[in-house]
Structure 1
Amino acid sequence: MNFSAADPLAQAVRRLSANDRAGAAAIIVKLAEQDGHLDDRWGDVAKLAATLGEVSAARTAMRRYVAMQPYDTERRLAYGAMLAQLGHVAGAIKATEAFLPNAPRPDARLHHLIGTGYAQLGQTESALEHLRMAIALSEQPELTAVSWLTIADLKRFEAGDADIAAMESLATDLGDQTLSALLYALGKAYNDLGDTDRAFETYARGARLARARAPHDAAGSRRFVDEVIAGFTADALAKLPATGVDSDRAIFVLGMPRSGTTLVEQILASHADVVDGGELNLFRVATTELGGYAPADITRMAFRPDGAEAWARFGAAYLHLLNERFGPTGRVVDKTLNHTRFVGVIHQVLPNARFIWMRRSPGDVALSCFRSHFAGGLAWSWSLEDIGRHMADEDRLYEHWSQLFPDAILTVPYEELVADPQPWIARILEHCGLPFQEGLDAFHQTERAVITTSASQVRQPINTRAIDQWKRYEKHLAPFFATYGQPPP
């Protein structure tokens, strides 16, 4: 971005760099409302507005950006990607499909965006059609690999499947940086065939390539967890100022990835009083002013002269961001990753919030995480030892927060939920203050976008097939159990 000193967009960027989200948002919203002559810089306004969670301003700015050159593919891709990022997946598909006949030339990226959107909506046939078109048109190996990865999640492979041969052939031509995603797709194929040894080695190759690019800082992560547990005690939290924000709109679903969090999200989102949810990442946006989430950061903010007002601002900002994304009515499920580290702060800002913490067999969680190519990139998932360390820290956080907030946190064992869903669904609804509703065990029929690696699983009726899958890979999981702890005999 190139700005003059008096440029309001530059001022917004500087305010955000100084952790002043509210100040930056005020400037961006005013720019969108005034419809000034920003020309191509409307794209920058849209990106910043999306980062700030200001959905209305982001959509307004992006529409103006596209209108400057309505037949430009890059702008249309940016528009579709932003809509999907903000949770408007159906809108992203509609807008991009409408552009296809007007595109200057066929473009693999347009079909990949549409195919990914259909996959998130559970419309498998349409997703596969566009993803295969993306592969046929693609001149970018990385896009091709990610398209194959999405296809692999949507289907079950059988012996002699031509898709396996196609991926194996492609793998010989890819460099290390692109190969990782394709190897996860091939690992899924070999797993479907029952070839666990080959599947595991393929996953492991993909993980090693990813880890080489961005290794996990296990020591730093553990230090932060140590600080949280030592610093956020009952006495320390009691000294923090109250916010006065009494909303219970958000329902926070916690737990390791692949522990059933998306399953509970889908069950809740099927309720008439819940509008939607997902990995929102809005609480961290609302609390940008903190600058950090260690106990020292919280104490520093709490005892500023405007400390009490700051906590109230955080709560009001989070609720505003929910309104921006979902409208003003209905409960919302927030299952943002890493919220397990911020439970104390969340509870302080939103004291009436309800938490659901999913717990699942460590072996099944570890195996599923190791076999998942997470879109956002979870560096701890690329090594069985790192998974073991991360899960051990998550266990410590669970014990800590459960002792501090026993009334706010409901523990839900995954195995019990899928084996006998009705009693647990009733307990979840009661804990969240939602009226009982029949038919929530048919959550797989709910039409909504699911933007996680569990998207295909929650389109299936509730079942117990995923229980004890780790035992097929027990010998391969030895490094995990050596780090985390041995499995039960």
Structure 2
Amino acid sequence: MRHRVGHMGLRSAAKDDRSRTMVPIKHAALPELLTALKAALVRRDRAETSRIVAVLLDRRAPLGEQWRAISQLMQVSGELTLALRAIDAFIASAANKPAALYSKVVLLTQAQRLQDAHDLLASLPENVPEPGGRAYVLGNTAVTLGRIEEGRAYLLKALEHRPGWGPAWLSLASAINLDGPVGDQLLAEAAIAERQGPSDLARYHYALGKLHADRGDPAAAFAAYSRGAALLKAETPYSRAGDAANATAAMTGWPEGFFDRAGDGRTIATSRPIFVTGLPRSGTTLVEQIIASHSAVLDGGELNFVQHLAVAAGGVSGDAVTQYCASGGTLDDLGALYLHLLDERFGPEGRVVDKTIDVSRFMGVIAAALPDAPLIWMRRDPLDCAWSCFRTFFI
């Protein structure tokens, strides 16, 4: 299988399409299965893709390196069970070499299984992937798990191997107050930092801004954040027209009474997710932490699962959802997809807070597919939001 796996979404085939496109794969030969998988990928047919990948795994197909690409595809699509099985197949094909095992560390990190990722990486040789990168990943996982001092030590170790490295400095700045010897080290590595590429250099300048803020120098902080933002702007240009078009689509095609009618004939409970959203830096993380302090609620973070519903429906507009239903899909299908992705990540028990930031662009899809899910919209003074966004590294 030689296709290039990208971050394409997989849509759920509408019911009348599914019966036409599914192939009899139970006894198909390996070349036929791979051809069918490529065709399912081209159609962005989530169900058929997952079905064929499961069959390939059950047969222990000798795909070697390709298992890693399949694992990444499944992870991007939210199919974590298949992603983990595929990465284990890749590791087995590579005779459990440490470099292959590190691929599983990456997958576990992407899936927010941070303790598992941390433990696996800690068991690997210190040169995997390389000393600085190893310490950086261990530092980030430790910090996210709440072990700040352990994470601090690892991140400083990463900087011993790679002085001035922007990602390590940004992680440190996010975890600790820099006013002290660590901040002096950050300043001392400025000349080395300037030799990095623009993306890593931007991260260094955001860390530098945090240092100046910690030391009570707002003018120097503003200058550092400005430099970091300028570097990022050159790397990731913003399309005002594209953003406006997306917002318009999200508000289009939802006539009066649409959601009342959408509730007719629903057969699944959709109250498990709790959406907490609003403008970036409006307080969503604090509210998420408060809600997740309840023993029956899980801290989901920015899940971005709703984008899979939009891909399945063919867009974020009411017109797209209407067309999806006219083609044989149902709103229960969309709701079930989101709930399935929750099960894949968190298991079947407990409610889950989803604080995906751009939920406003999916409001109609959420209301149609998950009508019982509560949504909390956070509001904060716009100037406070703007300043907090300005000093935050989002990418």
Alignment of 1:91 onto 2:111: no
1:461-480 equivalences under 5 Å are: none
How far the C-alpha of 1:46 sits from its partner, in A, is 1.1
Q: Give the secondary-structure state (helix, strand or coil) at the position aligned to 2:290.
A: helix
1:58–1:5 CA distance, 2 compared to 1 (3 A): closer
**Whole-angstrom distance in 2 between the partners of 1:10 and 1:150:** 43
How many angstroms apart in 2 are the aligned matches of 1:86 and 1:8? Answer: 27
The DSSP-based 3-state class of the residue aligned with 2:50 is: helix
**1:250 counterpart letter in structure 2:** P
2:173 aligns with one of 138, 143, 152: 152
What amino acid is the match of 2:267? G
| 1:280 has 2:303 as partner | yes
* CA distance, structure 2, for counterparts of residue 155 and residue 129 of structure 1: 11
Query: In the aligned structure 2, how far is the partner of 1:159 from the partner of 1:48?
Result: 44
Equivalent in the alignment of 1:199: 221
Q: 1:322–1:93: structure 2 CA closer, same or farther, 3 Å change rule?
A: same
The answer (yes or no) to whether the contact 2:276–2:354 under 8 Å persists in 1 is yes
Deviations 1:240-267 (A, max 9, x none): 5754322211111111221111112222
Cα distance in 2 for residues equivalent to 1:251 and 1:338 = 15
Partner of 2:330, secondary structure, is helix
Out of 294, 312, 332, the position equivalent to 1:289 is 312
Task: Provide the rounded CA distance (Å) in 1 between the counterparts of 2:142 and 2:76.
Answer: 24
Distance, in Å, in 1 between the alignment partners of 2:253 and 2:57 is: 42
Equivalent residue for 2:375?
355
Residue deviations 1:52-77 (CA, integer Å, cap 9, x gap): 21111111221222233356454233
Q: Give the Cα–Cα distance (whole angstroms) in 2 for the partners of residues 22 and 342 of structure 1.
A: 22
1:116 alignment partner, one of 140, 161, 165: 140
- In the other structure, the counterpart of 1:472 is none
Mapped to 1, the partners of 2:256 and 2:35 lie a distance apart of 42
Q: Which residue of 1 aligns with 2:12?
A: none
Structure-1 separation of matches of 2:202 and 2:291:
34
Secondary structure of 1:342's partner? helix
Q: CA RMSD in A?
A: 2.5
Determine whether 1:51 maps to 2:71: no
Report the more deviating stretch, 25-34 or 364-373.
Answer: 25-34
State the percentage of identical aligned residues. 33
The answer to whether the 8 A contact 1:291-1:297 is kept is yes
Task: Check if 1:184 corresponds to 2:206.
Answer: yes
User: Is 2:107 the counterpart of 1:107?
Assistant: no
| 2:22 corresponds to | none
**2:334 aligned with 1:311, yes or no?**
no
Give the Å deviation of 1:339.
Answer: 1.1
Which amino acid letter does the alignment assign opposite residue 296 of structure 1? D
Report SS of the residue matched to 2:68.
helix
- CA deviation vs aligned residue, 1:167-205 (integer Å, no higher than 9, x gap): 423333334343111111101111111111111011011
Report the 3-state secondary structure (helix = DSSP H, G, I; strand = E; otherwise coil) of the residue aligned with 2:357. coil
**Contact conserved, 2:249 with 2:316, CA < 8 A, in 1?**
no
2-structure distance, mates of 1:86, 1:43: 15
The alignment's TM-score, normalised by the length of structure 2, stands at: 0.85
The residue type equivalent to 2:367 in the other structure is H
SS at match of 2:108: helix
* Contact map agreement 1:282 1:318 (CA 8 A) in 2: yes
Aligned twin of 2:160? 136
Matched with 2:268 is 245
Q: Does 2:285 match 1:265?
A: no
Cα 1:104–1:47 change in 2 (3 A) is closer
**Post-superposition CA distance 1:23-68 (Å, at most 9, x none):** 2122223323332222222212211121221111111221222233
Q: Deviations over 1:447-472 (max 9, x none)?
A: xxxxxxxxxxxxxxxxxxxxxxxxxx
The 5 Å alignment of 1:32-47 reads 32-47=57-72
**1:252 is paired with a residue of what secondary structure?**
strand
Structure 1 residue 276: Cα displacement: 3.2
Distance 1:270 1:298 in 2: 35
The answer to whether the Cα contact below 8 Å between 2:251 and 2:364 also exists between their aligned partners in 1 is no
Q: 1:262 to 1:70 in 2, by over 3 A?
A: farther
> Are 2:206 and 2:391, in contact at CA under 8 Å, matched by a contact in 1?
yes
Indicate if the aligned counterparts of 2:276 and 2:288 stay in contact, CA closer than 8 A: yes
Query: What SS is found at the alignment partner of 2:300?
Result: strand
Matched position secondary structure for 1:32: helix
- AA partner of residue 268 (structure 1): I
Given residue 179 of structure 1, which amino acid in structure 2 is its aligned partner? L
**Corresponding residue to 2:44 among 8, 19, 24:** 19
What SS does the aligned partner of 1:39 have? coil
User: Which deviates more, 202-211 or 257-266?
Assistant: 257-266
Instruction: Indicate which of 77, 87, 91 corresponds to 1:62.
Output: 87
Structure 2 letter corresponding to 1:75: A
1:342 matched residue in structure 2: 362
